[in-house]
Chain A
Amino acid sequence: MSVIVDLKKCNGCKNKETPLCVKNCPGDLMAIDPENQKAYICKEEDCWDCMVCVKLCPCSAIATKLPYQLALYKATLVPKVYEDKIKWTCTDIDGNKEEFEIKTLEI
Chain B
Amino acid sequence: MATKEIKTEIIETDILIIGGGTAGCLAAVEAKEKNPDLKVTILEKAHIDRSGCLAAGMNAINAYLNPGETPESFVKHVRADALGLIREDVVLASAKELNNVVQKVEKWGLPIMKDKNGQYAPRGRWNIKINGESLKPIIAEAAKKAGAEVYNRVIVTNFLINNNRIVGATGFGVRDGKYYIARAKAVIVATGGAAGIYKPNNPGSAHHKMWYPPFNTGAGYAMGIRAGAEMTSFEMRFIALRTKDVISPTGTLALGFGAPQVNAKGEQFMKTKYKHLGGEGAPTPIRVYAPTKEVKEGRGPCYMDTRHLTPEQVKDLKASFLDMYPGIVLYWAANGIDPSKEPVEICGTEPYIMGGHCQAGYWIDPDRSTTLEGLYAAGDVAGGNPYKFVSGCWAEGVIAARSAVDYVAGVERLNAENEESEKERIFAPLHRYKEVKEGVTPSEMEERLQKVMDEYAGGVTVFYEMNDERLEVALKHLKRMKTQAQYLIAENLHDLMLAHEVIDRIDVAEVLVNHLLYRKETRWPGYQTRLDYTERDDFNWLKFVNSKKNTETGEIEMMERPYTQIIPGDRYLPR
Contacts and interface: CB of A to CB of B under 8 A. Distances in A.
B215 interface: yes
Contacts, number: 157
B334 interface: yes
Interface of A is mostly: loop
Contacts of A50: 50, 55-56, 213
Given A93-B333, A106-B109, A88 B326 contact: yes
A66 B319 contact: no
Contact of B327 (A23, A49, A69, A88): A49
A56 B318 CA distance: 21
Interface in B313-340: 315, 318-319, 322-323, 326-327, 329-336
B529 to A, nearest CB: 27
Contact of A26 (B55, B206, B318): B55
Contact of A103 (B51, B131, B204): B131
A52 B131 contact: no
A74 to B, nearest CB: 8
Contacts of A105: 109, 111, 134, 138
Interface residues of A, number: 49
A93 B110 contact: no
Contact of B214 (A27, A66, A76, A92): A27
Contacts of A90: 318, 329-330, 333
Contacts of B175: 28
A45 B131 contact: no
A88 B208 contact: no
Interface residues of B, number: 50
Contacts of B214: 27, 46, 48
Contact of B207 (A45, A73, A100): A45
Contacts of A70: 202, 206, 209, 245-246, 331, 334
Interface string B44-60: 00110111100110000
Interface string A81-107: 000001010111110001010111111
B438 interface: no
Given A26-B213, A52-B50, A92-B334, A66 B315 contact: no
B56 A102 contact: no
A42 interface: yes
A5 interface: no
B106 interface: yes
Q: Which of B110, B330, B332 has the most CB of A within 10 A?
A: B330
A48 B209 CA distance: 6
Contacts of B110: 106
Q: Which of A72, A91, A104 has the most CB of B within 10 A?
A: A104
Q: Which of B106, B215, B323 has the most CB of A within 10 A?
A: B215
B272 interface: no
B57 to A, nearest CB: 8
A28 B175 CA distance: 9
B153 interface: yes
B131 A92 contact: no
B174 interface: yes
B496 to A, nearest CB: 11
Contacts of B205: 1-2, 44-45, 67-69
Given A28-B174, A46-B208, A51-B327, A77 B46 contact: no
A51 B326 CA distance: 7
Contact of B52 (A26, A86, A98): A26
A75 interface: yes
Interface string B240-268: 00000110000000000000000000000
Nearest to B203: A69
Contact of B494 (A23, A42, A92): A42
Contact of B133 (A25, A92, A102): A102
A64 B209 CA distance: 13
B497 interface: yes
Nearest to B57: A104
Given A66-B331, A77-B330, 15 more contacts: A26-B50, A26-B52, A27-B214, A28-B215, A45-B204, A46-B208, A64-B327, A66-B334, A70-B246, A72-B336, A86-B322, A100-B315, A105-B111, A106-B109, A106-B110
Interface of B: 46-47, 49-52, 55-56, 106, 109-111, 131, 133-134, 138, 153, 174-175, 202-210, 213-215, 245-246, 315, 318-319, 322-323, 326-327, 329-336, 494, 497
8 contacts: A26-B50, A28-B175, A46-B207, A49-B326, A72-B336, A90-B333, A102-B323, A106-B111
